[in-house]
Copies of this chain bind each other. A is one copy, B any other.
């Protein structure tokens, strides 16, 4: 039984449209909203009235006249509530408190030296609790918790498998909801990163974008037609485990020649070990100092990354590719080799109108995406998009 149409549906649609416009393009007057959306002036008036009652919109005062009565300018009420965004990393927990526009009002980073699920969960809870204490008063208070994790998550919010944490079947969503009594949204780190960049970062211009999260491994978040594409079971985007070398090295996943064996932080450090380097930051320092081996290593990584990206371009024909994760720190040395290889290997028509950029939120793509997840779940609870 699918969603059918009735008057309530119509109202939900229109109210969402009005809120969305004000949220993304404020300040706006009622008249401008009517103009921009095509909705009747009276309709806009009524809906804005409700949104003001909902504390989601407020009047900021009079604007400039353009030859007639002065307009009443409307703003999105970004402090009507706050969201918690979490990135559960392999070696850290990053938590932020944001307003409804995704501005960070508090931030905490806790290094992680343990991996046991229950231990980690306890620290996670502590972090969130500390953050909640710092939340300002607001009409709605904390509206939800969003979290990105380094693993595969099913529809019920259970982490099925997180290789780098060595977790299996951990019902994180349910446990967090029980702990805090707040709505919890959870997804793969690459998916929330994609969402973050699309909403607040370098991805705002494109509706068909692929966010590549290049860290220990290579994951991706796929946004098609403006929406996150999760695949049939919610596991889409494991681009790090596509094979680019039929008889390449064996990967822990069972496949051979996986992209992330050649183009990831893990692959990079493995090779850098022979140079006596054991962290990404060290390697970046060397490159900054102009060490040829370091530069060569980055160039090679960029080239492999370009191969993976060309494959994505030919398959998906996205409008934008965003490179994120740890690897954004090496943008200076990666940019050219990536671009060159993509130019060589992708199809000409696909390349037209395509952009390749680096994530602009840097280390915050995922936390902000996670927070936005919670925010959009709150703002558009029963939203219907056409």
Residue A345 CB within 8 A of the other chain: yes
One of A71-79, A85-93, A234-242 at the interface: A234-242
Q: Mark A286-330, 1 if CB is under 8 A from B, else 0.
A: 000000000000000000100100111011111110000000000
- Which of B161, B207, B237 sits near A315, CB closer than 8 Å? B237
Known: A5-B9, A38-B4. A160 touches B316 (CB 8 A): no
Most buried by B among A3, A4, A39: A4
Return the CB mask of A214-241 against B: 1 if under 8 Å, else 0.
0000001000110001111111111101
A236: which of B38, B236, B316 is its contact (CB, 8 Å)?
A: B316
- Beyond A307-B243, A315-B315, A317-B231, is A4–B39 a contact (Cβ under 8 Å)? yes
Which residues of the other chain, B, contact A13 by a CB distance below 8 angstroms? 4-5, 9
Would you call B37 and A344 a contact (CB within 8 A)?
A: no
Task: Say yes or no: A11-B5 contact (C-beta < 8 A), given A229-B224, A232-B354, A238-B315.
Answer: yes
Interface positions, chain A 2-25, Cβ under 8 Å from B, are 2-7, 9-14, 17
Q: Say whether A317 contacts B10, CB under 8 Å.
A: no
Interface size class of A (residues with CB under 8 A): 35 or more
Q: B224, A37: Cβ atoms under 8 Å? A: no
**Inter-chain contact B161/A349, CB cutoff 8 Å:** yes
A147 contacts chain B at the CB level, 8 A cutoff:
no
Cα separation A319 to B230 with both chains bound (whole Å): 11
A346 at the interface (CB under 8 A from B): yes
Report whether A231 and B318 are in contact in the complex, using a CB–CB cutoff of 8 Å.
Answer: yes
* A240 smallest CB distance to B (angstroms): 8
Smallest Cβ distance from A336 to chain B, in angstroms?
Answer: 18
Q: How many copies does the complex hold?
A: 2
Interface centre among A3, A7, A12, A232 (most CB of B within 10 A): A232
A353 interfacial contact with B, CB 8 Å:
yes
Tell me if A244 and B244 are in contact (CB < 8 A).
yes
Interface string of A39-83 (1 = CB under 8 A from B): 100000000000000000000000000000000000000000000
Per-position 1/0 for A242-266, Cβ under 8 A of B? 1111100000011110000010000
Contacts of A312 in B (CB 8 A): 315
Judge whether A352 is part of the interface by a CB distance below 8 angstroms. Answer: yes
Asked if A152 is at the interface of the complex by the 8 Å CB criterion, the answer is: yes
Task: Select A233's contact among B38, B39, B353, beta carbons within 8 Å.
Answer: B353
Residue A105 lies at the interface, judged by CB distance under 8 Å to chain B? no
- Cα A2 to Cα B235 with chains together (Å): 31
| CB nearest to A12 among chain B residues | B5
- Check B231–A316 contact: CB distance below 8 A: yes
Rounded to whole angstroms, the CA-CA distance of A10 and B7 in the bound complex is 8
Which residues does chain B contribute within 8 Å of A236, judged by CB atoms? 315-317
A275 within 8 A of B: no
Listed in ascending order, the chain A residues whose CB lies under 8 Å from chain B are 1-7, 9-14, 17, 36-39, 152, 160-161, 206-208, 220, 224-225, 229-239, 241-246, 253-256, 262, 304, 307, 310-312, 314-320, 344-350, 352-354, 384, 386
What are some 19 contacts across the A-B interface (CB < 8 A)?
A2-B37, A5-B10, A5-B14, A9-B13, A160-B349, A208-B232, A224-B229, A232-B317, A232-B353, A233-B349, A233-B353, A234-B317, A236-B315, A236-B316, A238-B315, A238-B350, A242-B315, A254-B345, A256-B345
Given A1-B38, A5-B13, A208-B231, output 9 extra A-B contacts at Cβ < 8 Å: A4-B17, A5-B9, A207-B232, A208-B232, A231-B316, A231-B350, A234-B317, A236-B317, A311-B311
Q: Which 9 A-B pairs have the closest CB atoms?
A: A231-B317, A232-B319, A5-B10, A5-B13, A242-B311, A236-B317, A208-B232, A255-B345, A238-B314
